[in-house]
Amino acid sequence: MKLAIYPGTFDPVTHGHLDILGRACRLFDEVVVAVAPNEAKAPLFNIEERIALLEPHIKPLGNAKLVRLEGLTVDFAKKNQAIALIRGLRAVSDFEFEFQMAQMNRHLEGSVETIFLMPNQTFFYTSSQIVKQVCRVDSSRLSQFVPDNVLKALKKKFGKK
């Protein structure tokens, strides 16, 4: 069975994340979505909230599951016998960071490959950070970028109706 890990902060999950996940599920027998605490990013949603926001979007895929990531991603992948890490690339600006991370992971554990997937062109410019910035000012324009449950949670966080 070919298992891949799709790690991320997912703060919050966007349609772009879900597009990458759907693509990965078509390529692998199982995809584990590993939600990282990543306190360095000062997430808006705590890890339990992020997992809860992802949950309804995992079940319909059939071959994806959701876990909390502990420790280094590459160690988690090796422990779970994953053959690949899934990373999304939206633009050239993502490439340098992702390339460095992939090379470090390869150095730490050569048996785990990094697979870069691009989302549908509709989501190239969508990021969790931008979604949060837009929501602070005008949440009415976000339905095309995030699922309904995420939009509702964002509005609540920012005190919007």
Count of other CB atoms within 10 angstroms of residue 159: 6
Residue tagged active-site, from 23, 50, 127, 128: 128
Instruction: Establish whether 128 is a catalytic residue.
Output: yes
Find the catalytic residue in 78, 90, 152, 157. Answer: 90
Q: Please tell me which residue in 2, 41, 65, 79 is annotated as part of the active site.
A: 41
**Cα–Cα–Cα angle for 148, 154, 156, rounded to 5 degrees:** 105
Q: Is 41 in the active site?
A: yes
Which tokens in the block code for residue 147? Answer: 């699922």
Tell me the two tokens of residue 137: 């000012």
- Residue 10 Rama label (left phi>0; alpha psi -120 to 50; beta): left
> For residue 20, what is the DSSP state?
H
Per DSSP, which regions of 11-159 are E strands?
Answer: 30-35, 64-68, 84-88, 113-117
CA distance 8 to 86: 10
Task: Confirm whether 90 is a catalytic residue.
Answer: yes
Q: Which residues are catalytic?
A: 17, 41, 90, 128
